[in-house]
């Protein structure tokens, strides 16, 4: 099941030519992933890709506890400072900085998967659970769509929607991500355009609703796209919304600031039904380690970012979606 990402790319191309359904997942570093043909017929990895799922099991509704123990603000400030050095030197215009937060809960990862309310859900036993609100790309009837998500605010804040839409830093960050994704898609598609710019979705969490800002980008794929769907898909990686711009230099900054691989966190996963493909960015993510569970979260940093606000946003994203 788990193999190199190069093998997965080849398997995606072969399955695309044969119009064979598959499920796949790729880690952020593009070193490891999984590929499963006809995944609706297997019970090992549970998934729900915007309503397409391989199970009907329901979780028992019961009281639960969930506590987070984020790194202190001084440690985050040191990471933030390294990112700002890269931004101020011109090596990056936008860098996604993430943290790894120990969490404690009496729920299993499978129970979290079953109870989660999210557009994209994925549970890999012994590895992680993900309940992502963010689409990476959708391929449908020869078109490709992306919905980059940048900008989060507590919905209880007075005039929350107006506040985030008018925030200078948030606008600049979102513009940068949209330009990056549009350029990425232009590598494999023609007629690339932005259909909707900076619209708001509400996401329910165990700690109250949050608002998130997204855009929609569209392009037209070549006629023979199914022949090499894996090769085309890999041209877009890693996801721009969770890396930054320009990608190569920014990933170097991320490695220095975060000091460890992300693994599947901020990677991508998706489902191909034999004709169309839908995929998500692996955010809102809890991983299992020998010593317990860790929740991964983060946000985009620009030269206009304020350390205290970015730290608060990363901590605010540690939640359960129920």
Question: What confidence score (pLDDT) does residue 55 get?
Answer: 85
Confidence of residue 173 (pLDDT cuts 50, 70, 90): confident
Nearest to 164 by CA among 190, 114, 199: 199
Question: Does 250 map to a domain?
Answer: yes
Question: Does 141 map to a domain?
Answer: yes
Q: What average pLDDT does the segment 9-18 reach?
A: 98
State pLDDT tens for residues 212-256: 899 999 999 999 999 999 999 999 999 999 999 999 999 999 999
Question: Does 322 map to a domain?
Answer: no
Mean pLDDT score across all residues of the chain: 95
State pLDDT tens for residues 134-145: 999 999 999 999
- Give the CA-trace dihedral at 39, 41, 44, 46, to 10 degrees: 60
Q: What average pLDDT does the segment 47-56 reach?
A: 94
How many domains does the structure of the chain reveal? 1
Bond from prior residue into 115 cis (ω within 30 degrees of 0) = no
Bond from prior residue into 246 cis (ω within 30 degrees of 0) = yes
Question: Does 236 map to a domain?
Answer: yes
Residue 166's domain comprises 2-316
Q: Which of 25-29, 162-166, 219-223, 269-273 has the lowest mean pLDDT?
A: 162-166
Question: Does 321 map to a domain?
Answer: no
pLDDT value at 11 more than 90:
yes
CATH number of the domain that 243 lies in? Answer: 3.60.120.10
pLDDT value at 152 more than 90:
no
Distance in angstroms (rounded) separating the CA atoms of residues 281 and 28: 10
Question: Does 168 map to a domain?
Answer: yes
Question: Does 198 map to a domain?
Answer: yes
State pLDDT tens for residues 246-264: 999 999 999 999 999 999 9
Q: What is the pTM of this model?
A: 0.92
Question: Does 123 map to a domain?
Answer: yes
Name the more confident of 188 and 208.
Answer: 188
Confidence of residue 274 (pLDDT cuts 50, 70, 90): very high
Confidence of residue 65 (pLDDT cuts 50, 70, 90): very high
Question: What confidence score (pLDDT) does residue 253 get?
Answer: 98
pLDDT value at 207 more than 90:
no
**How much of the chain exceeds pLDDT 70, in percent?**
100
Question: What confidence score (pLDDT) does residue 66 get?
Answer: 98
Nearest to 299 by CA among 198, 153, 163, 199: 153
Question: What confidence score (pLDDT) does residue 172 get?
Answer: 87
**How much of the chain exceeds pLDDT 90, in percent?**
89
């Amino acid at each position: 099941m788990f193999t190199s990402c190069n093998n997965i790319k080849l398997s995606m191309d072969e399955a695309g030519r044969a119009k064979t359904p598959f499920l796949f997942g790729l880690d952020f570093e593009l070193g490891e992933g999984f590929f499963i043909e006809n995944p609706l017929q297997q019970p090992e990895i549970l998934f729900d890709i915007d309503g397409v799922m391989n199970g009907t099991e329901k979780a028992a509704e019961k009281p639960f506890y969930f506590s987070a123990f984020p790194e202190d603000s001084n440690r985050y400030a040191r990471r933030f400072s390294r990112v700002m050095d890269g931004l101020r030197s011109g090596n990056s215009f936008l860098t996604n900085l993430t943290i790894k937060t120990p969490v404690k809960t009496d729920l299993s990862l499978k129970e979290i998967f079953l109870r989660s309310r999210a557009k994209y859900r994925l549970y890999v036993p012994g590895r992680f659970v993900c309940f992502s609100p963010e689409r990476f790309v959708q391929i449908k009837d020869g078109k490709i769509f992306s919905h980059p998500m940048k900008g989060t605010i507590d919905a209880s804040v007075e005039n929350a929607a107006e506040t985030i839409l008018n925030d200078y830093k948030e606008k600049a960050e979102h513009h940068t991500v949209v330009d990056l994704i549009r350029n990425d898609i232009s590598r494999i598609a023609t007629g690339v355009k932005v259909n909707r710019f900076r619209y708001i979705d509400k996401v329910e969490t165990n700690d109250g609703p949050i608002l998130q800002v997204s855009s929609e980008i569209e392009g037209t794929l070549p006629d023979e796209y199914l022949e090499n769907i894996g090769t085309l898909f890999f041209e877009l990686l890693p996801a721009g919304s969770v890396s930054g711009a320009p990608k190569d230099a920014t990933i170097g900054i991320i490695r220095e600031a975060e000091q460890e691989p992300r693994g599947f966190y901020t990677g991508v996963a998706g489902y191909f039904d034999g004709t169309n493909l839908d995929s998500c960015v692996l955010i809102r993510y809890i991983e299992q380690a020998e010593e317990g569970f860790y929740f991964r979260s983060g946000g985009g940093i620009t030269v206009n970012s304020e350390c205290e606000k970015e730290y608060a946003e990363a901590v605010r994203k540690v939640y359960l979606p129920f």
